[in-house]
A = this chain, B = another copy of it.
Amino acid sequence: MESVLQHIEDNVDRSLETLFTLVRQPSVSAQRLGFDRAPHLVAEIFTEHGFDTQILEAPNDGLPSVYGYVPADNEAFHRAQNLAGIDNPSDDPPTLMFYVHYDVQPTDPIELWETDPFEPTRKDDRLYGRGMSDDKGNIAARLAVINAFRDEWGGLPCNIKIFAEGEEESGSPNLPGLILEHADKLGADACIWEGGGRNAQNRPLIYLGLKGVLAVELSVALLKGDAHSSYATVLPSAAWTLINALNSIKDPSDDRILIDGFYDDIRDSTPEEDRALANLPDDSDEWRDTFGNASFVAGLGSEDLPRKHLFMPTANVAGLDAGYQGQGMKTVLPAKATAKMDFRLVPDMRPDDIFAKFRRHLDRNGFENVDLDLISGVHPFRTDMSSKWARMAIETSEETYGKQAVIYPTMAGSGPMYDFGGVLGIPITSAGIDHPTHKIHAPNENITVDDFVLGAKNIARLVQRFAAEWRS
């Protein structure tokens, strides 16, 4: 294995060049920016790395995903089993899926970027650019592993599939349909999810689940056009209606969401998950440093934060838009007001069900005139903490990073894990290059070379161990 790990280290500049090529190509799914070229570039890069590659068009005029497959090399497969001292080696190499995404978040507020988000820039030990970490860095780290096995072992020790989604940052609206359509080729024994890596204390970080998310837009239009604000005496106001409707959603005193039945389908955490939760480091000081918040929501103390953060849903206002927002004043009564909201969901909440309950809430509270549009919905998913795949990932990470792993039964973020884990029935763990300082989704997204190399090495070890032990 040492030669593979050494190869990753020795060829890091070549791997980063691939990463930079990916970052230079915009691929902002929310704005459909760069997709004339981005999927083709990703496919070309996969092909260069030995994948049999295919661009999978999404339904509903969605943005395509890129799929690639490399079969195991038999010698490499046996080498992995020998290395692990497997008694009765198998002739049937197992299949590992890499789930990644090549789309990125929008760059705004663009004025807070210190460098061009689409021109990779090195400053001291950090590499800056949109997608440098999330998720193009994770893609490039996996490709570094592929290169290393091919150059050092003559091929891969297991079958490897890679699925690079094009709409993850837009809530994966078309992934369920796309997976159903291609279910025949997307099966696998296990899956390494995008991300994971190290936490703020540089301990390896494993996550086994993701929240779901329901993204919606509320819009109110009560007038043909904007009116002079002197008519606020008599004309109905879209802005006030939106404010009143939003205000009805949550109790600010305890942050409880007031939509009827909102919490009904939340699954109790298992004792094992509770233990993992109790072992998590206290992130509250780090959060305070990063975000500069004076206090936490509804006055929560640090002892309450992990359970709230990981096992509870949210109702977030991601955007508000009405009337005049420029310099000075325009005395206008806006014809229209809109809000973008996202609800993070935990098992077994379902986005369609929450959407219906939200609509009912608005209607029952007199807000029939508030339009509610579903932007996207993703189901929550968690892999069983006691599964073979979870244990393998945890042990491997402790070997790579030399420290006790920090295990998250779920992350607070979302992704379409359910479509692979729930629909296709594949156990999923994380392994990646992440670190809390990477500013993902924010201006000045970045990585360090260290995070990249360590993440790639950890994935290489996990690939080897999976190849060797999955059938045993």
A interface with B by C-beta (< 8 Å): 29-32, 105-106, 108-109, 112, 170-171, 211, 213, 215, 222-237, 239-244, 246-247, 250, 252, 287, 290-297, 300, 305, 308-310, 312, 314-334, 337-338, 340, 342, 344, 375-376, 411-414, 440-443
Taken together as a complex, chains A and B put the C-alpha atoms of A297 and B337 apart, in Å, by 16
Q: Which B residues are CB-close (under 8 A) to A170?
A: 328-329
Known A228-B413, A230-B314, A230-B414; 9 more pairs at CB < 8 Å: A112-B225, A211-B230, A229-B316, A229-B318, A234-B297, A239-B320, A242-B320, A316-B333, A329-B376
Taken together as a complex, chains A and B put the C-alpha atoms of A31 and B390 apart, in Å, by 58
Copies in the complex: 2
Taken together as a complex, chains A and B put the C-alpha atoms of A105 and B326 apart, in Å, by 12
The reply to whether B236 and A31 form a contact with Cβ atoms under 8 Å apart is no
The reply to whether A320 and B323 form a contact with Cβ atoms under 8 Å apart is yes
The reply to whether A323 and B317 form a contact with Cβ atoms under 8 Å apart is yes
The reply to whether A213 and B331 form a contact with Cβ atoms under 8 Å apart is yes
The reply to whether B324 and A322 form a contact with Cβ atoms under 8 Å apart is no
The reply to whether B308 and A234 form a contact with Cβ atoms under 8 Å apart is yes
Known contacts A222-B293, A442-B227: A325-B330 contact under CB 8 Å: no
In the complex, 8 of the A-B residue pairs with CB atoms within 8 angstroms, ordered by the A residue number, are A31-B326, A105-B330, A223-B291, A230-B344, A232-B315, A232-B342, A234-B309, A318-B323
The reply to whether B235 and A106 form a contact with Cβ atoms under 8 Å apart is no
Nearest CB in chain B: distance from A333 CB, A: 6
Taken together as a complex, chains A and B put the C-alpha atoms of A228 and B344 apart, in Å, by 12
Taken together as a complex, chains A and B put the C-alpha atoms of A294 and B224 apart, in Å, by 10
The reply to whether A308 and B233 form a contact with Cβ atoms under 8 Å apart is yes
The reply to whether A340 and B329 form a contact with Cβ atoms under 8 Å apart is yes
Q: Closest chain B residue to A440 by CB distance?
A: B228
Q: Which B residues are CB-close (under 8 A) to A109?
A: 226
Q: Which B residues are CB-close (under 8 A) to A246?
A: 243, 247
Q: Which B residues are CB-close (under 8 A) to A244?
A: 247, 252
The reply to whether A240 and B234 form a contact with Cβ atoms under 8 Å apart is no
The reply to whether A252 and B240 form a contact with Cβ atoms under 8 Å apart is yes
The reply to whether A330 and B234 form a contact with Cβ atoms under 8 Å apart is no
The reply to whether A237 and B316 form a contact with Cβ atoms under 8 Å apart is yes
Q: Which B residues are CB-close (under 8 A) to A319?
A: 322-325, 330, 332, 334
Taken together as a complex, chains A and B put the C-alpha atoms of A322 and B31 apart, in Å, by 18
Q: Which B residues are CB-close (under 8 A) to A231?
A: 287, 291, 309, 412
Q: Closest chain B residue to A29 by CB distance?
A: B328
The reply to whether B411 and A236 form a contact with Cβ atoms under 8 Å apart is no
Q: Which 3 A-B pairs have the closest CB atoms?
A: A30-B328, A224-B292, A232-B316
Taken together as a complex, chains A and B put the C-alpha atoms of A412 and B333 apart, in Å, by 13
Nearest CB in chain B: distance from A228 CB, A: 5
Taken together as a complex, chains A and B put the C-alpha atoms of A31 and B327 apart, in Å, by 6
The reply to whether A318 and B330 form a contact with Cβ atoms under 8 Å apart is yes
Taken together as a complex, chains A and B put the C-alpha atoms of A330 and B109 apart, in Å, by 11
The reply to whether B317 and A322 form a contact with Cβ atoms under 8 Å apart is yes
Q: Closest chain B residue to A295 by CB distance?
A: B236
The reply to whether B340 and A325 form a contact with Cβ atoms under 8 Å apart is yes
Q: Which B residues are CB-close (under 8 A) to A322?
A: 317, 319-320
The reply to whether B375 and A329 form a contact with Cβ atoms under 8 Å apart is yes
User: Which of A315, A340, A342: most chain B CB closer than 10 A?
Assistant: A340
Q: Which B residues are CB-close (under 8 A) to A296?
A: 234-236
Nearest CB in chain B: distance from A297 CB, A: 5
Q: Which B residues are CB-close (under 8 A) to A337?
A: 320
Nearest CB in chain B: distance from A253 CB, A: 9
The reply to whether A312 and B344 form a contact with Cβ atoms under 8 Å apart is no
Q: Which B residues are CB-close (under 8 A) to A232?
A: 297, 314-316, 342, 344
